[in-house]
Amino acid sequence: MTPVGTLTPAMQDYLEAIYHLQREKRVARVKEIAKRLKVKLPSVSGALKSLKSKKLVHHEEYGYVTLTAEGLRLAEQVARRHEAVRRFLTAILQIDDEQAQAEACRLEHAVSAETLKRLLCLIEFVENCPRGGQDWLKHLSGRWDDEFHCDGNCKKCIASIVIPAGAPCAEETQTSEPSTVPLSTQEPGFRGVIKKVVGRGRVRRRMTDMGVTAGTEVEIERVAPLGDPVEVKVKGYHLSLRKEEAANIYVAPE
């Protein structure tokens, strides 16, 4: 298998662009890739030749572009890395999304797999720890101001953050909000807001990795005949969730 780190930043950008276009339109076209990356058509043609030589894309002259199995694996890694960096910039550093998207494109290439994993753990910790969450982030937001002066009384500051009911760090299997329901119980066409993601371990980390977090809008596009998988749209991305994953996502209708 090809380590993503052996690809140049430009190649990673091309794989990510093809990945998103393929998810949106099933296939990618050279003109669409050029438009998405804001480059000239000859540049795209040269990049595709290089990616094809590495057996990462399928492409015939004047034809569609699709990812090979290995190309898809690498593209998913790049896309996850971009989303993790973007979420860190927006959710924790509270940078506006447009700026975060641009900066994530530059920063993602310097992030190792270990750093990526720790960024995701940090985001999950801040958003779900009883001493974290939105109250903690509100306290943090005041520190961005150059005129902010801390009085040094950290214990007083921490004590002022109220631990919400039903939010201990222990694993939860139910939500305390009666108005919320598991995403797995809803039908195609449902639109709502994610209120809580329960569970632990790889399942929860995978959802966090994909941007499935509290406060995010979600729409169900399709549900397989047996209820698995569930195709959803989150932050403009099309995701495929297993039924057990969807059952851990509690949502409130719009």
List the CATH number of the domain containing 215.
2.30.30.90
- Does the residue 158 lie in any domain? no
Q: Hey, what are 61's tokens?
A: 């002259």
Q: How many domains does the chain have?
A: 2
Look at residue 223 and give its three-state secondary structure: strand
pLDDT digits (tens, 9 = 90+) for 241-251: 888 788 888 88
pLDDT reported for residue 172: 42
pLDDT reported for residue 87: 85
Amino acid identity for residue 173 in this structure = T
| CATH code (residue 5) | 1.10.10.10
**12 lies in the same domain as 103:** yes
Distance, CA of 28 to chain centre:
21
Residue 240 phi/psi, 5-degree rounding, is: -115, 115
Beta strands in the chain (DSSP E): 57-59, 65-67, 181-182, 191-197, 217-223, 230-234, 237-241, 249-253
Q: Hey, what are 159's tokens?
A: 């004590």
pTM (global) more than 0.85: no
**187 lies in the same domain as 84:** no
Q: Write down which residue in 94, 113, 132 finishes a domain.
A: 113
Look at residue 199 and give its three-state secondary structure: coil
- Does the residue 153 lie in any domain? no
Cα gap 46→244, rounded to integer Å: 43
**1 lies in the same domain as 108:** yes
pLDDT reported for residue 55: 95
pLDDT digits (tens, 9 = 90+) for 192-217: 888 888 766 666 667 776 778 788 88
Q: Write down which residue in 113, 137, 169 finishes a domain.
A: 113
Burial class (CB in 10 A: 0-12, 13-18, 19+), 214: middle
**108 lies in the same domain as 185:** no
**5 lies in the same domain as 109:** yes
Q: Write down which residue in 74, 93, 113 finishes a domain.
A: 113
Edge-first strand listing for the sheet containing 249-253: 181-182, 249-253, 191-197, 217-223, 230-234, 237-241
Residue stretches of the chain with pLDDT short of 50: 163-176
pLDDT reported for residue 200: 62
**Domain span at 7:** 1-113
- Does the residue 207 lie in any domain? yes
